Amino acid sequence: MVSKEEVLKYTEDLKFLTGLSSNDLEILKKYKDIALQWTDDLVKSFYDILFSYEPTASIFREGEREERENTLKDWYRRLFEEINSDFWIWQWYVGIVHIKRKVYNRYMLGMLSRIQQMFLDKAVQNLPIEEALELYRAFKKATDVIAGVIAEGYHLTYVESLQTVAGVDKQFVGKIMKLHLDKAMKEFHK
């Protein structure tokens, strides 16, 4: 199983590669009051999209929307507060929950892109352009790291689960994967 220390190492990789800095986190805190005013609109739009598309609507249980909206509101609020190691560990956990709920990475990445787009619209509508872009860049970097952490958590936990359930040695899985990947690469490189 991946340790919390490994999760934080993966997060550091993502922070470096996206350029997310402590300055970006300070920018998010600076605009907290205005950004939190957009919470209800962003969350409603987010779930309107999910519930209007059959493949994502089918993930939810009857009457679950309010609970999921509250979870997203909490996630959004925390983006503008203290993003720390506990926050990143939580994002890893989200990846694990997504496996259980069959929220595929394509759904998560698509909807995170939608949130980013909606956030940019709100920022441009409510702030001078330089401030809107500064805030959006910080938000984009933070949410890109979140996407990476969730996707990595999904992927690694999925592979680990298969190895554990099948009782297969990690090196053996690596050899089988290489053979399969070679075959897949030939198929897509025609």
pLDDT digits (tens, 9 = 90+) for 111-136: 999 999 999 999 999 999 999 999 99
Please, is 58 exposed, middle or buried when counting C-beta atoms within 10 Å of its C-beta (0-12, 13-18, 19+)? exposed
Residue 114 CA, distance from chain mean position: 12
Please, is 50 exposed, middle or buried when counting C-beta atoms within 10 Å of its C-beta (0-12, 13-18, 19+)? buried
Total domains in the fold of the chain: 1
Average pLDDT of span 140-158 = 94
Report the alpha-carbon distance of residue 72 to residue 62 in Å, rounded.
18
pLDDT at 49: 98
E strand segments, the chain: none
State the CB neighbour count (10 A cutoff) for residue 180: 10
Q: In terms of residue numbers, what domain contains 153?
A: 4-188
Residue 57: CATH number of its domain: 1.10.490.10
